[in-house]
Structure 1
């Protein structure tokens, strides 16, 4: 329908890992240069290989992040995500003209080519050496999500003059 945002079904060609933008910025180093990444307000949407959303909880447990509360969401089979509008022209102009809260491509997918080979995947999938390693990406994202949470809890209001919740005495 005209005026309605395009919804993309996840779990078919890609899954989505939704993290705080502050945590996702560090993860960009673990992605292939052509890996699509969207920015939606203060959240970053990292595209993963299809089926990865099912693997993530087990990988986080294996990495010993399973018991830690992390601000990340997974979109896999049966979910949908709002597609950012295609970038205007060859060069992105940032967030100019974007509707508040609407997603924008931070790294748009390349025109006319599949990006599946560039998406982070489990090494056992046998996609050769070209795909970024999902395990390393998740370890980076989990550590950054945890740092963001600690930073935000430390920046909270002081309670009875004790504003160092992580200090030892």
Structure 2
């Protein structure tokens, strides 16, 4: 299944002056200057989606079954009972059509997308101590698989297959098929467990 070649801008993002006294200053500096990921002004620290990456948000137990389809070094975050899988920028627009093509479009899936114009909570860098953060808040985002050093992380993110695409990024179509199947199993398991469990399900939503 062919798709557009997904690329990121080669123009470096402007660097924000480093203020060590600002809340989350070290984390913000690391995201913006070490990774080149734009952040959103204000607190708490959030990352812009749709620029360097998109996000696929699924139940943690469903995402765990899809980790084998990700490249080593592909970032994955946990937020409470949710897992956030990072995708190549622009992928969020492709997902609904891919799910339809895979015949998952008519199935209710607890699956959310964040693409252009969205933001996501920024997990603290692994091992970092940031000002204004006494410890990890329950339910706050944390890295299950933190991004590696440098600015080559995007080359590892799942993307649509395309002729001539460089690198060895995982196939987004295969990942989505596995994630959808896992989400469906989780939903059926919760429905069988009773109304209290099934009440936690959310309909398929793209944002």
Give the TM-score band, short-chain normalised: 0.7 to 0.9
Alpha-carbon displacement from aligned partner over 1:139-168 (angstroms, at most 9, x marks no partner): 000000000000000111699999999999
Equivalent position SS for 1:45: strand
Q: For 1:48, what is the secondary structure of its paired residue? A: strand
Shift of 1:22: 0.4
- Partner-residue secondary structure (3-state), 1:125: coil
- How many positions carry a matched residue from both structures? 168
Does the CA-based 8 Å contact 1:16-1:76 persist in structure 2? yes
Out of 49, 70, 75, the position equivalent to 1:36 is: 75
Q: Secondary structure at the match of 2:58?
A: strand
1:54 aligned residue (88, 93, 96): 93
> What is the CA-CA distance between 1:91 and the residue it aligns to?
14
Distance 1:89 1:59, change over 3 A: same
More moved, 86-95 vs 103-112: 86-95
| Distance change >3 Å, CA 102–CA 161, structure 1 → 2 | closer
Which residue number in structure 1 is paired with residue 139 of structure 2?
101
Residue pair 2:110, 2:204 contacting (<8 A) in 1 also: no
Q: Secondary structure at the match of 1:123?
A: coil
The secondary structure found in structure 2 opposite 1:124 is: coil
Aligned Cα root-mean-square deviation (Å): 6.9
With the length of structure 1 as denominator, give the TM-score of the two structures.
0.83
Deviation sequence 1:92-136 (CA, Å, 0-9, x none)? 999994201100000000122321100000002743350000000
Residues 121, 141 of structure 2: 8 Å contact kept: yes
* Structure 1 pair 69–162 and aligned structure 2 pair: CA distance change class (3 A): closer
Contact 1:20 1:44 in 2 (8 A): yes
The 10-residue stretch of structure 1 (56-65 or 118-127) with the greater mean CA deviation from structure 2: 118-127
Q: 1:40 to 1:162 in 2, by over 3 A?
A: closer
CA–CA distance in 1 between the matches of 2:89 and 2:145?
A: 19
Could you list the runs of 5+ residues in structure 2 that have no partner in the other structure?
1-39
Sort the Cα spacing of 1:105 and 1:125 in 2 relative to 1 into closer, same or farther, 3 A.
farther
Alpha carbons 1:70, 1:145 under 8 Å: kept: yes
Tell me if the contact between 1:95 and 1:104 (Cα under 8 Å) persists in the aligned partners. no
CA separation of 1:91/1:150 partners in 2, compared to 1, >3 Å: closer, same or farther?
A: farther
TM-score by length of 2: 0.69
